[in-house]
Amino acid sequence: MESMDVKKLCSTCKKNSGVAICDGCQQRFCSKHFIEHRQELSQQADHIGQIHDVLIRDINETIPNHPLFEKIDEWEQELIAKIKSTAEVVRANLREIVKNNRQNLKDSVSNFTKELQASREADDYTDIDINKWTQHIHELRKMFECSPTVCISGGNSTESFLRLIEIDTQPYQVPICSTAKSCINETFNSLHKTAELSEENHVATRMGSPWFDNVNVNGSNRYSIGIYHIRLRIEKVGDLCMFIGIRSSDDMLLFLPKSTYGWWDLNETNTKSGNVPNRADRMIKSGDDVTLTLNCDQQQIQLQHHRMNQSVQLKVDVNKCPFPWKLFVKLSNTDDSIRIL
């Protein structure tokens, strides 16, 4: 005999048969309680709708007041203060740089004026001097028209996203020859007939002259401003030392100048004309290359011996050897020879 189906009751009253099932909660309800269940769901939906309406109203009418706004305002004020402080420091730096550059330019022009006036008054200049002066006056004009560089640099912290400005503090400089090669186009000249000049006046050689103690050879250029490097090769030097150095172009004693500064050897300096040393242990020999550096700005000269990798410096008293300077070489032996490289 087949069993009878068990009657499923309403989940609310537990008496009447459950004739309807809610798809949401999966409960059975009788007709009466199913209607009541639907009414409860409707009331809950109405309540959600009211909450929704209040949220919409608040979103549309209320001004946002996030707690981070205050922190952002503080950060903004701190940053503005730092920017103003940095800007003032940079302005002060720029004023100082402009002031120093202007003074350096005035000093350079003043030295150039003295050199120009001295050469014109003595009527002692050539085409080479005219070309050099023309180039120099253009360089001074360029210095006057240039401005210091303002560059952008990152903050000290790697996390910083604010970039601050700073001044490039490189000062104006008179253009100088900065290589070991004679890029200033130096050449020799001499009033001694016994000094033979060759190879476009880049080589000076002493010929036979028994009645001269030594033969003086000058450079063509005059130096008053900047730093210059003149590389020389001792083609030949005899028993007596060869003098390498400078003299003042204003020194009127052409054969026995009193303004000389330089070296007979690395350890044999001379600041005036005198006896020629004869050193068996001398360091400068035939075939050696040396570089004579004229630092007009620091008022000193330097001689570098390339084979021995040694250098010596000599401070110049500009009262005894006033600007402009000239390259000055004494050839002490017959057939002594020196070359400008």
**CATH of residue 287:** 2.60.120.920
Residues 137, 261, single domain; the answer is no
Residues 80, 57, single domain; the answer is no
Q: What is the pLDDT of residue 291?
A: 94
Residues 192, 329, single domain; the answer is yes
Q: List, in sequence order, every beta strand (DSSP E) within the chain.
A: 20-21, 28-29, 150-153, 164-167, 188-189, 195-198, 203-206, 215-219, 227-236, 243-248, 261-265, 268-270, 289-295, 300-305, 310-315, 325-331, 337-340
Confidence of residue 304 (pLDDT cuts 50, 70, 90): very high
Q: What is the pLDDT of residue 340?
A: 95
Angle separating helix axes 127-145 and 68-122, nearest 10 degrees: 160
Q: How many whole angstroms separate alpha carbon 78 and alpha carbon 317?
A: 55
Q: How many whole angstroms separate alpha carbon 78 and alpha carbon 1?
A: 93
Instruction: Tell me the pLDDT tens digit for each residue of 117-160.
Output: 888 888 888 888 887 888 778 777 777 766 555 554 544 444 44
Residues 198, 320, single domain; the answer is yes
Give the C-alpha distances (Å, rounded to integers) separating 286 from 166, 233, 237, 339.
Answer: 53, 8, 5, 11
Q: Is residue 177 domain-resident?
A: no
Instruction: Report which of residues 274 and 6 the model is more confident about.
Output: 6
| 282 and 304 Cβ atoms separated by less than 8 Å | no
User: The pTM is what?
Assistant: 0.48
The residue count for the chain: 341
Q: What is the pLDDT of residue 170?
A: 45
**Where among 117, 132, 167 does a domain terminate?**
167
**Where among 108, 138, 167 does a domain terminate?**
167
Instruction: Tell me the pLDDT tens digit for each residue of 175-199.
Output: 333 333 334 688 998 766 678 899 9
**Where among 133, 167, 201 does a domain terminate?**
167
Residue 148 identity (one-letter amino acid) = P
Instruction: Report which of residues 238 and 183 the model is more confident about.
Output: 238
Number of domains composing the chain: 3
The pLDDT of residue 239 is above 90: no
Q: How many whole angstroms separate alpha carbon 187 and alpha carbon 295?
A: 19
Residues 328, 290, single domain; the answer is yes
Residues 266, 199, single domain; the answer is yes
Q: List, in sequence order, every beta strand (DSSP E) within 129-185.
A: 150-153, 164-167
Confidence of residue 202 (pLDDT cuts 50, 70, 90): very high
Q: Is residue 195 domain-resident?
A: yes
Residues 232, 335, single domain; the answer is yes
Q: What is the CA radius of gyration of the chain?
A: 47
Mean pLDDT across 13-19:
85
Instruction: Report which of residues 57 and 339 the model is more confident about.
Output: 339
Residues 134, 234, single domain; the answer is no
Check whether the bond before 324 is cis (ω within 30° of 0): yes
Instruction: Report which of residues 313 and 256 the model is more confident about.
Output: 313
Q: What is the pLDDT of residue 146?
A: 63
Strand order in the sheet with 325-331: 188-189, 215-219, 325-331, 243-248, 261-265, 268-270
Confidence of residue 209 (pLDDT cuts 50, 70, 90): low
Q: What percent of the chain has pLDDT over 90?
A: 22
Confidence of residue 213 (pLDDT cuts 50, 70, 90): low
Residues 88, 215, single domain; the answer is no
Residues 82, 149, single domain; the answer is yes
**Tokens at residue 291, please?**
């570089």
Mean pLDDT across 312-340:
91
Confidence of residue 166 (pLDDT cuts 50, 70, 90): low
Instruction: Report which of residues 191 and 168 the model is more confident about.
Output: 191
Q: How many whole angstroms separate alpha carbon 111 and alpha carbon 91?
A: 30
Confidence of residue 173 (pLDDT cuts 50, 70, 90): very low
Domain that holds residue 156: 76-167
Residues 247, 139, single domain; the answer is no
Q: How many whole angstroms separate alpha carbon 175 and alpha carbon 252?
A: 29
Specify burial of residue 274 (Cβ count, 10 A radius: 0-12, 13-18, 19+). Answer: exposed
Residues 54, 135, single domain; the answer is no
